[in-house]
Amino acid sequence: MVFTETKLKGCFIIEPKIINDERGYFMESFNEQTFEKGTGEKVYFVQDNQSYSSRGVLRGLHYQTGEHAQAKLVRVLNGEVLDVAVDIRPDSETFGQHIAILLSGDNQKQFFIPRGFAHGFLVLSEKATFFYKCDNFYNKESEGGIKYNDSDINIDWQFDVNELIISEKDQQLPNLKNAKKVW
């Protein structure tokens, strides 16, 4: 696996070694020792989640606060999404900055997002199956979010905003300035 740290400290793009032959392909999608060596982080994943969505579905930007904060290892099993992480660590040099990564069933890239980040994704293909591992259990009382179109963050979703499909809950999320604090 190749681990590439992004401009946001602690966020890594992970490219697996894919072995192709006439039968298809094989790849190791996670190995605790390889992950720890590649990221320098000892992370114990305790929950796997999966979603299936249609083109234009935008989920996020979500996070968990305090002792329930979550690190995530995300990937797309089929289809294509624009995956976004926003640094919401108050003491970080990159607070309020984001990174967007194209994840697909074809490129098989994974994205590691440590605790202290808001996360969201937009489905670019007709359908997509999104899969992620979390290092902490979901806790409803600790959930927080940031509106997808916060002008201070200025995410280019690369999609016509009139075609976005966003839950009522996500449409009501506050801007970063007014969001539930992580700390």
| Amino acid of residue 39 | T
Helix, strand, or coil (residue 100): strand
| Amino acid of residue 98 | H
Gap between the Cα atoms of 73 and 70, Å rounded: 10
Residue in the block written with tokens 């329930």:
68
Nearest to 66 by CA among 142, 164, 152: 142
Report H helices in the chain: 32-39, 168-171
Catalytic positions are 62, 132
CA 134 to chain centre: 11
Say if residues 71 and 113 touch (Cβ distance below 8 Å): yes
Gap between the Cα atoms of 107 and 98, Å rounded: 21
Helix, strand, or coil (residue 177): helix
